[in-house]
Amino acid sequence: MLCLFWISVLASYIAMDRGTLTVSQATAADRLMLQLAVITGVALVAAEFINSLHDMRRVLRALIWGGAFCGVVAALQFWISLDITPYLRDLPGFSINFDNPANIGRAGLSRVDGTAITAIELGVVAGMLLPLAIYLAIYDADRPARWRWAPVVLIALAIPASVSRSGVISVVLALGVLLVLMPTRQRLVAICAAPLGLAAVFMSAHGVIGTLSSFFGAGTSDNSVQARLYDYPEVERLLGQAPWFGHGGGTYLPENPLFILDNQYLKTAIELGLIGVVILAAFFLVPMISALVARRRSSDPELRLLCAALAGAALAAGVCSLTFDSLAFPMFANVYALVIGLIGACWRLAAAGK
């Protein structure tokens, strides 16, 4: 699947008309190649060098505690309007990629970014990480219970703090897959705990549930939905100019803010053509299916639950890429690259009977 993605990007890179590109567009095309190299490297290293569930738990601890830290930052921004990200920028080795406001008002609520670029990225990544955090809390028995479950709570806090429909979609899909594939006893416990989680959100973040419900019910009357629909004629026009291999990966840099695409599939259609869209769909579907197949091949309850959590994360990533240009956001792209690698490692562990 990664090989096909490389072929699509390279074919588009060769075919693009450099005479019409600006310096920024040409640089962006090079940057996409570097990004794909990073994704490939992370995925292959994780897939090839994680050789046991012990190794898997070590990697997941780092990933989950990173998500937990992001949840802490988001909680401080949302509940007490304290933004510590300016202090993080002063740490040695860090530089500013984006300087977005940490708090943006939405329907009378503060919509926060945590350490992500936007609230959408925060919500989607938190939704992807939550089932992995639950898996680790259940099976990382070497750690005290409070240290295992604290990241679950902190990551969960980031989802209502983002005030994002995409975040809700992400967590519903990711946890839905995990819930369906859990053993019966664990499933019953999870079902009983779900109302407590909703009650905690309602009591601690008053107005979030009602606001998100109104967003989902608004349909095409919502401003953000209207802005997304406004993009379709422009996408159709540009796709007609280069339907198969696109205009070049990373080269879609609209000057008009109204044409910024909140849909990775539409952005890929312009940049990599229809062939690229098919491969992008495989980029999300193949890992998810591989995780489900690995789960079926294994008899180890821990590995089976891990595969279910990873399948949920991959499904959430693919569906939520319909709601924002996901691969343009480094936190999402890098977390998903690691998810691909972890699924590859699970495939190997299932085949070896570990």
Mean pLDDT along residues 321-338 = 96
Q: What is the pLDDT of residues 49-100, one digit of tens each?
A: 999 999 999 999 999 999 999 999 999 998 888 888 888 878 888 777 777 6
**Greatest Cα-to-Cα distance within the chain, rounded to the nearest angstrom:** 62
What is the model's pLDDT at position 346?
98
Mean pLDDT along residues 173-185 = 95
- The DSSP code sequence of 28-58 is HHHHHHHHHHHHHHHHHHHHHH--SHHHHHH
pLDDT at 212 over 80: no
Half-sphere exposure of 233 (CA within 13 A, CB side): 4
Please list, in sequence order, all residues whose beta carbon lies within 8 angstroms of the beta carbon of residue 137, skipping any fewer than 6 positions away: 148, 149, 151, 152
Token reading at 262? 């909140």
3-state DSSP assignment of residue 101: coil
Query: What's the rounded Cα separation, in Å, for the pair 120 and 74?
Result: 12
What is the model's pLDDT at position 81?
86
3-state DSSP assignment of residue 104: strand
- Give the residue with greater pLDDT, 247 vs 209: 247
Mean pLDDT along residues 152-180 = 93
3-state DSSP assignment of residue 96: coil
User: Are the C-beta atoms of 154 and 68 separated by less than 8 Å?
Assistant: yes
pLDDT at 197 over 90: no
* End-to-end CA, the chain: 25
Query: What's the rounded Cα separation, in Å, for the pair 74 and 147?
Result: 19
Amino acid at 131: P
- Give the residue with greater pLDDT, 117 vs 309: 309
What is the model's pLDDT at position 216?
58
Amino acid at 265: Y
pLDDT at 254 over 60: yes
What average pLDDT does the structure give for the chain?
89
The H-assigned helical ranges of 140-242 are 145-162, 165-181, 184-204, 208-218, 223-230, 232-241
Give the pTM.
0.93
Token reading at 273? 């053509």
Sorting pLDDT into bands at 50, 70 and 90, what band is 149? very high
Find how far residue 254's CA is from the centre of its chain.
24
Half-sphere exposure of 203 (CA within 13 A, CB side): 6
Please list, in sequence order, all residues whose beta carbon lies within 8 angstroms of the beta carbon of residue 197, skipping any fewer than 6 positions away: 156
Query: What's the rounded Cα separation, in Å, for the pair 271 and 250?
Result: 6
Sorting pLDDT into bands at 50, 70 and 90, what band is 196? confident
What is the model's pLDDT at position 205?
62
Please provide residue 84's backbone torsions phi and psi, each rounded to the nearest 5 degrees.
-95, 0
- The DSSP code sequence of 238-274 is HHHHSTTT-S-TT----SSGGG--S-HHHHHHHHHHH
pLDDT at 227 over 60: yes
User: Are the C-beta atoms of 41 and 309 separated by less than 8 Å?
Assistant: no
Phi-psi category of 114—alpha, beta or left, where left has phi over 0 and alpha has psi -120 to 50? left
Query: What's the rounded Cα separation, in Å, for the pair 178 and 176?
Result: 5
3-state DSSP assignment of residue 103: strand
Q: What is the pLDDT of residues 93-115, one digit of tens each?
A: 877 777 766 556 554 567 889 99
pLDDT at 273 over 70: yes
What is the model's pLDDT at position 258?
75
User: Are the C-beta atoms of 15 and 245 separated by less than 8 Å?
Assistant: yes
Q: Which residues are bridge partners to 109 per DSSP?
A: 106
Amino acid at 226: Q
Query: What's the rounded Cα separation, in Å, for the pair 176 and 172?
Result: 6
pLDDT at 291 over 60: yes
Mean pLDDT along residues 348-354 = 87
- Give the residue with greater pLDDT, 334 vs 261: 334
What is the model's pLDDT at position 92?
85
User: Are the C-beta atoms of 151 and 340 separated by less than 8 Å?
Assistant: no
What is the model's pLDDT at position 30?
95
Query: What's the rounded Cα separation, in Å, for the pair 334 and 235?
Result: 27
